[in-house]
Amino acid sequence: MMEKRARDALPAPAPGQEINRFTELQTFVQVAQLGSFSAAARQREVSPSAVSKIVARLEARLGVQLLRRSTRRLELTEEGQQLLEQGRTLLADWMALESAVTRCGQPSGLVRINASSSIGQRLLVPLVPALLRQHPELQLDLSFTDQVVDLIAARADIALRWGRLPSSEMVARLLGHTRQVIVASPAYLRQQGTPARPKDLQRHVRIGWNYPRAVPHWPFAVQGHKQAVSMGEVLRVNDGETMRALVLAGAGLARLSLYHAWEDLQSGRLRVVLEDFNTGDLEPIHAVYVGKPGQLPARTRAVLDFLKAHVDLGYAQAVPAGWCT
């Protein structure tokens, strides 16, 4: 008996209390479509008395009669018919909106991705066709730059970043690791000779980075100790693809991530030097984003999950001996 009274008890909102207009409209539409309070009550899993109170409260708030009640049937008034027609449209639009912004259904909409030139070209671009086949409702906006951008200012949903991340409010998802190797073109090595020890680099052109966060030296492991070789001032760039192109053209040596040089090493267009002195340090590759992991749009989460599953993790391995000089 107490349960029935609790289900029936739907008092009018107290002064200043917010009215649940959605529930009122939804209940009225169900009553009108089903033709009875009892049928609507069964669908809503409440008592007929509770449904009657909701409709009565709606009528009182609007100041019009929506239903004519008799012992045998319910009949819509003109105002009730108008509310039914427009109310059904409003409810359908609301359900469509909820589906679009929650996790339900196929991920859809625009995802903006920012990445460095090398990560974008070498890791992301090859994955785009499969990503769009798996999620055909997605739209991608790709921006590649080696400058670290502010995700909010750039309106980016995801940024792919290599190396250690500074402390920030962004959330990072680790995609994998990569080793770094020192590479040169065969033509450059024929003309300038192959360095046998780290100190030999002093007589070679070393291509480095010119942005403020760049490390101004290359690390080596010499007899169990780390040794740093200064970059020098001969040639510096701010773009990974430019650095790769300069090495391929024979301009000098560069320290590239293994994923960046992989295809050139496989084909023989580049060779690895000083691998016996490689520290073996692994650099992380992250997908970073702003927001709480449990509250991401379905489209952003779908891209993050795809990248986590498909970014090649083989770039942390030692290079084959055949790639070394």
Read off the pLDDT band of 126 (50, 70, 90): very high
Q: Which residue has the higher pLDDT, 195 or 164?
A: 195
| pLDDT recorded at residue 215 | 76
Alpha-carbon distance of 114 to 120, in angstroms, equals 8
Q: Please indicate whether the domains covering 109-177+284-313 and 180-281 agree at the CATH topology level.
A: yes
CATH architecture assignment, domain 2-101: Orthogonal Bundle (1.10)
- Give the SS3 label for residue 199: helix
Q: Write the CB contacts of 260 (distance below 8 Å, at least 6 apart in sequence).
A: 118, 122, 240, 244
pLDDT in tens, 85-120: 898 888 887 877 766 666 556 788 899 999 988 899
Q: Write the CB contacts of 113 (distance below 8 Å, at least 6 apart in sequence).
A: 124, 140, 141, 142, 143, 156, 157, 158, 159, 160, 303
pLDDT in tens, 157-176: 999 988 777 656 678 889 98
Please spell the DSSP secondary structure of 204-239, one letter per residue. Answer: S-EEEE-STT--SEEEEEETTEEEEEE--SSEEES-
Query: Residue 311: pLDDT above 70?
Result: yes
Token code pair at residue 224: 């169990």
Read off the pLDDT band of 196 (50, 70, 90): very high
Query: Residue 319: pLDDT above 70?
Result: yes
Query: Residue 1: pLDDT above 90?
Result: no
Q: Where are the domains of the chain?
A: 2-101, 109-177+284-313, 180-281
| pLDDT recorded at residue 232 | 76
Helix axes 21-34, 37-44, angle to 10 degrees: 130
**pTM, entire model:** 0.65
| pLDDT recorded at residue 133 | 95
What is the pLDDT of the chain when averaged over all its residues? 85
Place of tokens 């995609």: 175
Instruction: List the one residue out of 304, 320, 268 whose CA is nearest residue 113.
Output: 304
Query: Residue 211: pLDDT above 80?
Result: no
Q: At the top level of CATH, which class does the domain 180-281 belong to?
A: alpha beta
CATH of 109-177+284-313, one of 1.10.10.10, 3.40.190.10, 3.20.20.70, 3.90.870.40: 3.40.190.10
The torsion region of residue 163 among left (phi > 0), alpha (psi -120 to 50) and beta comes to left
| pLDDT recorded at residue 248 | 97
| pLDDT recorded at residue 161 | 87
pLDDT in tens, 2-40: 333 333 444 444 444 445 888 888 899 888 888 888 888
Alpha-carbon distance of 91 to 52, in angstroms, equals 20
| pLDDT recorded at residue 103 | 54
